[in-house]
């Protein structure tokens, strides 16, 4: 990594001692102060967060070169805000949509129209396998990534860390149901990694926000806004924006989002993912039935979710 230009935006595990059970007092203090700094930045005004976002976009582009960068674009509200920011800076970066084939049609349409109007190149990256083939071969994505992974390991007689097994003990009654976490790998990760290799573009600028989950918060505390992994460089310019900031931005710049956002859907992404389906009566399946009964019918009866949901006691309508 080019330390000099990115040192203010990046952090590594050596500095924080992330994986070290015997962290120094200095490392502990650093991690505490990172958590506090994140909270503080999330309370800044939207105007100031826009400046922070633009600084990070510039830093990434200056460091890695404009031709190596792309916008990870899902046709959702966060990536619309991100794209708007980048385009307003005069960078016509390629927009890359990782299309699992489970995207809301509204979002796919929006992505095409948005990029056409803005004059940005849109690339749809599709998996070479259909979602139902992944589910039938490996298992359905239910409950959560961790639970699905453990249930699959138990079902296929692989070893499981006893601590992890204890954590999911309430779900072990579903150990014979065909559940797996592999869907994301085959429908998202693998296709995008293959595209990155082909295109030689390794710098993914993403519309990820800390407020969305603990995992996303932790990633910032540990690594910052710009960091390198084995295969790519990840940039999170709008990490400090809250949900309210996103809506304020949308209003301020008069962005017309995909219709799903005006019909009760809060997040885009796969319309029939079973992750989180046990946490809320108004889960993805229930929402889909209201929004698009035809798609719901297909998911339930042709792609096999009806049977799996029934076995898992999950509401579908």
**Which residues would be at the binding site for ligand SF4 (CB under 6 A)?**
100, 102, 141, 183-184, 187-188, 269-270, 273, 275
CB 148, min distance to ligand SF4, A: 8
- Kindly state the tokens that stand for 32: 């505490």
Looking at the Cβ atoms of 141 and 258, the one nearer to ligand SF4 is 141
Looking at the Cβ atoms of 52 and 183, the one nearer to ligand SF4 is 183
CB 25, min distance to ligand SF4, A: 40
d(CA 91, CA 125): 21
The 8 Å CB, 24+ separation contacts for 198-203 are 199/70, 199/123, 200/68, 201/67, 201/68, 201/69, 201/70, 201/94, 201/96, 202/64, 202/68, 202/231, 202/232, 202/233, 203/60, 203/64, 203/68, 203/69, 203/70, 203/232, 203/233, 203/235
CB 220, min distance to ligand SF4, A: 21
d(CA 96, CA 107): 13
Looking at the Cβ atoms of 142 and 233, the one nearer to ligand SF4 is 142
What is the 8-class DSSP label of residue 186?
I
Closest listed residue to residue 127, CA positions, set 95, 103, 111, 147 = 103
Looking at the Cβ atoms of 44 and 195, the one nearer to ligand SF4 is 195
CB 14, min distance to ligand SF4, A: 31
CB 181, min distance to ligand SF4, A: 7
Phi, psi (degrees; rounded to nearest 5) at 125: -105, 120
Looking at the Cβ atoms of 17 and 105, the one nearer to ligand SF4 is 105
Closest listed residue to residue 250, CA positions, set 263, 234, 235, 262 = 262
CB 295, min distance to ligand SF4, A: 13
Instruction: Yes or no: say if 241 and 249 are a contact pair by the CB < 8 Å rule.
Output: yes
Looking at the Cβ atoms of 95 and 188, the one nearer to ligand SF4 is 188
CB 268, min distance to ligand SF4, A: 11
Looking at the Cβ atoms of 38 and 270, the one nearer to ligand SF4 is 270
Cβ neighbours around 263 below 10 Å, total: 12
């Amino acid at each position: 990594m080019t330390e000099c230009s990115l040192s203010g935006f990046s952090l590594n595990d050596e500095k924080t001692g992330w994986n070290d059970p015997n962290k120094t007092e200095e490392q502990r203090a650093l991690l505490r102060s990172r958590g506090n700094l994140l909270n503080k930045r999330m309370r800044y005004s939207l105007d100031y967060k826009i400046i922070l976002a633009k600084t990070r976009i510039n830093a990434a582009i200056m460091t890695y070169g404009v031709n190596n960068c792309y916008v990870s674009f899902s046709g959702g509200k966060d990536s619309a805000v991100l794209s708007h920011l980048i385009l307003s800076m005069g960078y016509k970066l390629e927009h890359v949509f990782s299309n699992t084939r489970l995207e809301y049609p509204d979002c796919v349409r929006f992505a095409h129209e948005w990029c056409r109007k803005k004059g940005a190149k849109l690339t749809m990256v599709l998996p070479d396998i259909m979602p139902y083939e992944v589910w039938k071969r490996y298992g359905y994505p239910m409950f959560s990534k961790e639970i699905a992974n453990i249930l699959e390991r138990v079902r296929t007689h692989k070893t499981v860390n006893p601590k992890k097994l204890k954590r999911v003990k309430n779900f072990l009654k579903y150990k014979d149901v065909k559940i797996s976490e592999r869907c994301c790998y085959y429908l998202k990760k693998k296709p995008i990694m293959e595209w990155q290799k082909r295109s030689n573009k390794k710098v993914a600028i993403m519309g990820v926000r800390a407020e969305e989950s603990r995992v996303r918060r932790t990633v910032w505390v540990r690594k910052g806004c710009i960091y390198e992994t084995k295969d790519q460089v990840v940039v999170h310019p709008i990490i400090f924006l809250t949900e309210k900031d996103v809506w304020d931005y949308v209003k301020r710049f008069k962005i017309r989002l995909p219709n799903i956002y005006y019909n009760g859907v809060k997040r885009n992404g796969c319309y029939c993912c079973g992750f989180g389906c046990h946490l809320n009566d108004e889960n993805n399946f229930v929402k889909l039935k209201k929004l698009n009964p035809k798609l719901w019918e297909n998911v339930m009866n042709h792609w096999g979710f009806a049977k799996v949901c029934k076995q898992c006691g999950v509401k579908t309508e």
